[in-house]
Amino acid sequence: MTMEEALLEGYVFDARHAESIDKINKIFSQYGLTPNQSKVYLHLTKAGEKTASEICKSLKIPRTETYHLLNSLEQKGIIYSIFGKPSKFNSIPINDAMNILIDNEKKRISELESKKKTIISLWQTLPEFHSEKAELSENRFQSLQGRNSILVKIEQMTKTATKSIHVLGTEANFIKFYHTDFVDYLKNTKAELGIVTTFSEKGNYVFEGINLEHIKKLEDSHQDNFSFIIKDESEVLFFVNNLDVEFMAMWTDSKSFVSTLESLFKLIWRKSGHVLEKEDEEFDEKEYEHRLREIEQEKIILNYIHKNILAKKRRT
């Protein structure tokens, strides 16, 4: 079989390339491409100019859908058509395509920002359905699902903090937020920052850019217990591990929860040494163990609340 025949039969990418293709498709989806749009564009980048029929046959996509995909990719500006009988299609170089897709997303975001004032203005014209604004209740609990919703909460906490931001957890807990603005939120907070975490040679990039004076090393014996962020000793974002759904957390302003976690953070902070030095301060082990037992009980409660909220979401 010739290379041309192989291309037409859809053998361009075999099992050896599956992982790379899957990663590319996931990244392309973040740039606004559907899986089939990504498949068509990727095929053209490697196969060269092709007719719609050849693309349809190679990728096993229905003919009508193939034309829709080609038309949408042309509108995005990352492929072009070549006049003829029949017409052929080809891709622009991938570097140029990425720049175009990035510019498209920037324009889309700019348009959304320009409409923000309009939406707020229109919303303010809508009537209230109650005469008095409901007072905020204490001991609120919020279930946060997905990295973006958690990051929004972290941004709110770090930007509005006036006293302290305390972070405790392993690098493995926070590596999920790598390549996001997570570290920038911590660096830019106006409050006093304290982080207790593992600081291995392989994982210290997680908090890269943060002054090491703000970071203390978490002992191995405490690494798998819990992970949380506390703002101003008044609210806490608690990451609950071992759940079926990735990127889930609980936020609460419950005084008892916050107080217990804040006390634990201070105990561990006092016991721990900075990442670049050793400390041998006296430490109340009984008080520490007592706090740990309290945390385990509250962790059970948080898990119960979290799972029940998740179960309700699934039923709806």
pLDDT at 284: 54
Query: How far is Cα 218 from Cα 198, in angstroms, rounded to an integer?
Result: 5
Say what the pLDDT of residue 295 is: 59
Query: Average pLDDT, stretch 43-66?
Result: 92
Closest listed residue to residue 275, CA positions, set 194, 214, 186:
214
SS3 165: strand
Q: What is the pLDDT of residues 150-192, one digit of tens each?
A: 999 999 999 999 999 999 988 877 888 888 889 999 999 999 9
| CATH 1.10.10.10 domain position(s) in the chain | 3-97
The domain 141-315 having CATH identifier 3.40.50.720: the answer here is no
Residue 140 Ramachandran class (φ > 0 left, ψ -120 to 50 alpha, else beta): beta
Instruction: Identify the pLDDT of residue 142.
Output: 87
Where do you find CATH 3.30.870.10 in the chain?
Answer: 141-315
pLDDT on residue 316 = 54
Q: How do residues 67-108 score in pLDDT, each as one tens digit?
A: 999 999 999 999 999 988 888 999 999 999 999 999 988 888
The pLDDT of residue 4 is: 41
Is the pTM of the predicted complex or chain greater than 0.75? no
Range 3-97: architecture per CATH: Orthogonal Bundle (1.10)
